[in-house]
Amino acid sequence: MNKAQLVEAIADKLGGRQQAADAVDAVLDAMVRAVVAGDRVSVTGFGSFEKVDRPARYARNPQTGERVRVKKTSVPRFRAGQGFKDLVSGTKKLPKGDEVAVKKAPKGSLMAAAAAGGSRSTVKKAAAKKTTAKKAAPAKKAATAAKTAAAKKTTAKKTAATAKKAAPAAKKTTTAKTAASKTTAAAKKTTAKKTAPAKKTVAKKAPAKKATARKTATAKKTATRKK
């Protein structure tokens, strides 16, 4: 059975050949796109389609028997479901009349899939994204903590270096102030020593003046008496 014959086989059930052709094209296109994107398309009772990666390997040319290097590639793979296998092997008999050979999806499953994002592959992608985000969160926190610790260490080193540089300058300033105060005190002591003898000399001269005044008064009295 080819594609045209498949369309003819389901045309009566879908209301016409054109509707059947559109339905077949839509189903095949959706399946191919999903498998190419790396999703797994699973149909209960029929089978699943998925993308498989094959590593580079050596193979033999069937015509010449020559060993050939085969590059890494990806291929589609179909795995038949158990119901399909049972029908092919004869374990189960095909239903007669218009009854569908493939097991129908349970009620409510299609609505649940649509509410969750359309398909199982979409749900798996969302779950994978959440898992990746959870794994990345601790790594980000660890990186932030490491950066903060490094910044604190750098700040502490800079502060210590600044304090060390400031300490000698403060010592020099204090020494200079001490020396200046000592010089000022010595100058004051010298001035006090020089001033003290001068005051004593002035004090000694004062009695001499008194003695001179007394002699003058006595001379005046004597002169008056003689007259």
Backbone angles phi, psi at 55, to 5 degrees: -70, 165
Which pLDDT tens digit goes with each residue over 177-186? 656 566 666 6
Confidence of residue 203 (pLDDT cuts 50, 70, 90): very low
| 148, part of any domain | no
Mean pLDDT, the chain, as a whole number?
Answer: 74
- How many folded domains does the chain comprise? 1
Q: Is residue 101 part of a domain?
A: yes
Give 217's pLDDT tier (boundaries 50, 70, 90): confident
If DSSP codes are grouped into helix, strand and coil, which group holds residue 161? Answer: helix
> What's the CA gap between 71 and 94, in Å, rounded?
43
Given this model, what pLDDT does residue 35 score?
96
| Domain assignment present for 196 | no
Please write the tens of the pLDDT for every residue from 10-33. Answer: 999 898 999 999 999 999 999 999
Note whether residue 43 is domain-resident. Answer: yes
Q: Which element (helix H / strand E) includes 86?
A: helix 82-89
In a domain, 62, yes or no: no
The Cα 79–Cα 89 span in angstroms is: 15
Q: What is the pLDDT of residues 42-89, one digit of tens each?
A: 998 899 999 999 999 999 999 999 999 999 999 999 999 999 999 999
Residue 80: CATH number of its domain: 4.10.520.10
Domain that holds residue 40: 3-53+70-128
Q: Is 99 part of any domain?
A: yes
Q: How buried is 119 (Cβ within 10 angstroms: 0-12 exposed, 13-18 middle, 19+ buried)?
A: middle
